[in-house]
Structure 1
Amino acid sequence: MEALQQQFKDLLQTEIQCSEELEGWLKRQSRLLDEVEEQLKQHYIQFQCNTHDQQAKEAFDFDQKHVQPLVKRYKSLLDSKYYESPFRLQLDPKHFGLLNKKVENSIRLFNEKNIDLEIEEDELVTKYFEITGNLTVMWEGEEKPLSDMEVYLQDPERTVRKNTMTLIQESMLSVEEDLQIIMDKLIALRHQKAQNVGLPNYRDYMFRKYERFDYTAADCLELAEAMRQYVVPLQKKLQEKQQKTLGLRTFRPWDIRAVPINEKPLQPVQNVDELVKGTFHILEKVDSRFSALLHEMKEKNLLDLESRKGKAPGGFCESLPASKQSFIFMNCCNTQDDAVVLLHEMGHCIHNELIELGPYRNVPMESAELASTTMELLTMEYWNTFYPSGEDFKRAKREQLRLMIQYLPIITVVDQFQHWMYENPNHTHVERRAKFKELARTYDSSFVNWEGYENWLETTWLSILHIFEVPFYYIEYAIAQIGALQMYKQYKENPKQTLIHYKQALSLGSTKSVKEVYEAAGIRFDFSAQTIKELMEFVEKELELFEEE
């Protein structure tokens, strides 16, 4: 800690005599912050990989209570030093204009009181992961983590699916009160953080924190309405078709992922080694640089893909900026989802690889998720690596697009739910449950019959870790899917040019606005109903083509 503090002091005490020295100083600052960030992320990864590891938890707790507060304080002082430098205005505005805007925004959002609040906030999030990471169910005499149960939700036998969902939901409901209380405390802390910087609510605070300079909360509502108008009808149509294929009178929540009685759930691989090997061959067909990156990550033990007890739920890619590497964390259960998740996370790794280090390395999530979601779609034509059977290959592609349409409304519900929670911070648990159900009824298909199981619907959000750990990080998935579908359409027409656009857009990092990054990719950053309508028509035609193949 003392050595780190001295390094920050040295940066603060550096005399800057010209614009060239200011640029050099920025690079020094960036290198130091990269080194600190990598250490923090390594500790985070170790804790996520094993929430039972006391040593990993202690290192992670120390970072949250001591290292991160120190970094935040000095980062604020460094921002002020840069912003107050007379040589800042001599820097090229084409390259530094957006940085100036980011630094000014950061200065306005900093408040010393919030550092202690953020320590409490981090402790609550850690508690959430400890609780959810340790949830298990008994299945056929064996204790299994919840992530291992997802495959049974696709089982042809309806009784199996219903029993699976019951076990998962009852497991989550067993800790509902604990998670609701954690959420209460998080909302109170986060509302206070917004108040401390003169903002009316935490939603407005996070829009600034995430540097959402290209869209507003009103735009999110406009997108939600466009989803309701054009995505939900297609979602309902696909669910009606699913019900007919399954031969059911009613369509229940445990039927959404089901396969017909004469089929088996798609299973691209039997184990993690096969998953990595298959993904390598797929990426090789897109760009040899992409496959080489995966090979390097495997050789350097930068993949933790297996599901196991004590491992935190979910999946992520973390950039390790000092060593210029990425780490992928996920919970494999030998389903088609595994293939999609690994390709998705590789999109993030490729993005990290294409960005030069420096103050523009931390990209907005709308760009980050465009990189990953597009990778899912650009690789679809090569999924026959996993599925030599032509029929399974077609099923995998159909399922990919069908699930995108299934989840876009859910993304919308979660986003609008968070807007409501933080605009109304004094709500009760009962009101919270009721609001989630109301939003689900508004922005998700009403075709699914939840009768008798409304309790499950009202508490669906408890298992969505983003709501607890990274609030308001969810609408990016919808924005990115809109962008990725445009990229996929472009790729079908001109694969070579699309790949050039893709890499060019990703290489920009945050030197350009999100809108400009999307334009560099050859697509529109557009929330309009017309854009959503056109894309849904395109997806429907694609699904019809897959049926005909």
Structure 2
Amino acid sequence: METQQITIPIRPKRKFVSENLIIDSWEKIESLFDNLVEREISNVAELEKWMLDRSELEAVLEEDMAWRYIKMNIDTTDKELGELFTFWIKEIAPKTAPYSHKLNVKLVESPFLKDLEKKKYRIYLRSVNKQIEIFREENIPLFTTMEQKQQEYGSISAKMSVEVDGEKLTMQKAAQLLKDTDRNKREEVFNKISSRRLQDEKVLDDLFDELITLRQQIAKNAGFDNYRDY
């Protein structure tokens, strides 16, 4: 059988955001947002270039946030990793939200919007218009609080473990034993998992209730009856 080589894609070189950017303060990226908000656009080519620059900035931010989240969940006992993610949701995300709204409005109000290739940008522009429709400034702090509560909920869940046959197992790994062919083993593991979860029942239930309340308020602020519709 012929062996096929896998080609790993190479990330394109950045054209708008510095390759050496380290996001350890809002000031490091504020000027990039200001550039996009204030930039003069004189034709459709410049509009598309502006859109590409915005996309690059958003991709950099999303990747940075994703790595913080991944590293935090790999080792939930590392306080520094948790603080790095908390910094993002408290100091970066709330400040990018108003800028994102301004950029959305700037795009849809551009006189050159009509010159964009409709088929190419149809879905993207539909998403932008929907984001404008549901944006509410009063929801920004609510999203921050919601992210913090979700982080707390996830941290508590990730720290749970049970001991089976003298081995300490995460809840996810222990759950695999529920497929064991030995009924007694399945019952033992099930009871241990349930007992461990009950230890944090009150705090998790309270967090869950808080999240429901936050989501309901976010939806109401945006003119929806519930978070599902939002």
Rounded Cα–Cα distance in structure 2 between residues aligned with 1:156 and 1:46 = 35
Rounded Cα–Cα distance in structure 1 between residues aligned with 2:125 and 2:159 = 44
Rounded Cα–Cα distance in structure 1 between residues aligned with 2:223 and 2:203 = 31
Aligned partner (choices 48, 57, 60) of residue 32 of structure 1: 57
Rounded Cα–Cα distance in structure 2 between residues aligned with 1:204 and 1:23 = 32
Map of 1:44 onto structure 2: 69
Deviations 1:480-499 (A, max 9, x none): xxxxxxxxxxxxxxxxxxxx
Letter in 2 for 1:24: K
Rounded Cα–Cα distance in structure 1 between residues aligned with 2:178 and 2:124 = 46
Find out whether 1:146 has 2:171 as its counterpart. yes
Letter in 1 for 2:54: Q
Rounded Cα–Cα distance in structure 1 between residues aligned with 2:166 and 2:59 = 47
Aligned length: 205
Rounded Cα–Cα distance in structure 2 between residues aligned with 1:78 and 1:31 = 14
Aligned partner (choices 121, 124, 129) of residue 96 of structure 1: 121
Q: Secondary structure at the match of 1:121?
A: helix
Rounded Cα–Cα distance in structure 2 between residues aligned with 1:149 and 1:32 = 41
Q: Secondary structure at the match of 1:202?
A: coil
Rounded Cα–Cα distance in structure 2 between residues aligned with 1:133 and 1:118 = 22
Structure 1 position 35, deviation (Å): 1.1
Rounded Cα–Cα distance in structure 2 between residues aligned with 1:200 and 1:36 = 32
Rounded Cα–Cα distance in structure 1 between residues aligned with 2:164 and 2:119 = 59
Rounded Cα–Cα distance in structure 2 between residues aligned with 1:196 and 1:166 = 42
Find out whether 1:115 has 2:140 as its counterpart. yes
Map of 2:223 onto structure 1: 198
Letter in 2 for 1:139: V
Structure 1 position 48, deviation (Å): 1.0
Rounded Cα–Cα distance in structure 1 between residues aligned with 2:227 and 2:195 = 31
RCO comparison, higher one (Cα < 8 Å, 6+): 1
Map of 1:181 onto structure 2: 206
Q: Secondary structure at the match of 1:160?
A: helix
1:27-426 correspondence runs (5 A)? 27-205=52-230
Rounded Cα–Cα distance in structure 2 between residues aligned with 1:155 and 1:39 = 40
Deviations 1:147-205 (A, max 9, x none): 22123212222111111111111111221221111111001111110111111111110
Letter in 2 for 1:39: D
Letter in 1 for 2:83: E
Rounded Cα–Cα distance in structure 2 between residues aligned with 1:175 and 1:92 = 54
Q: Which runs of 5+ in 1 are unaligned?
A: 206-549
Q: Secondary structure at the match of 1:204?
A: coil
Q: Secondary structure at the match of 1:143?
A: strand
Map of 2:42 onto structure 1: 17
Letter in 2 for 1:44: Y
Rounded Cα–Cα distance in structure 2 between residues aligned with 1:118 and 1:199 = 16
Q: Secondary structure at the match of 2:229?
A: helix
Question: TM (normalized to structure 2)?
Answer: 0.86
Structure 1 position 94, deviation (Å): 1.2
- Computed over aligned residues only, the root mean square deviation of the Cα atoms, in angstroms, reads 1.1
Rounded Cα–Cα distance in structure 2 between residues aligned with 1:88 and 1:175 = 53
Q: Secondary structure at the match of 2:152?
A: helix
Pair 161,100 (structure 1): closer, same or farther in 2 beyond 3 Å: same
Rounded Cα–Cα distance in structure 2 between residues aligned with 1:38 and 1:107 = 23
Deviations 1:215-238 (A, max 9, x none): xxxxxxxxxxxxxxxxxxxxxxxx
Letter in 2 for 1:29: R
Rounded Cα–Cα distance in structure 1 between residues aligned with 2:124 and 2:172 = 40
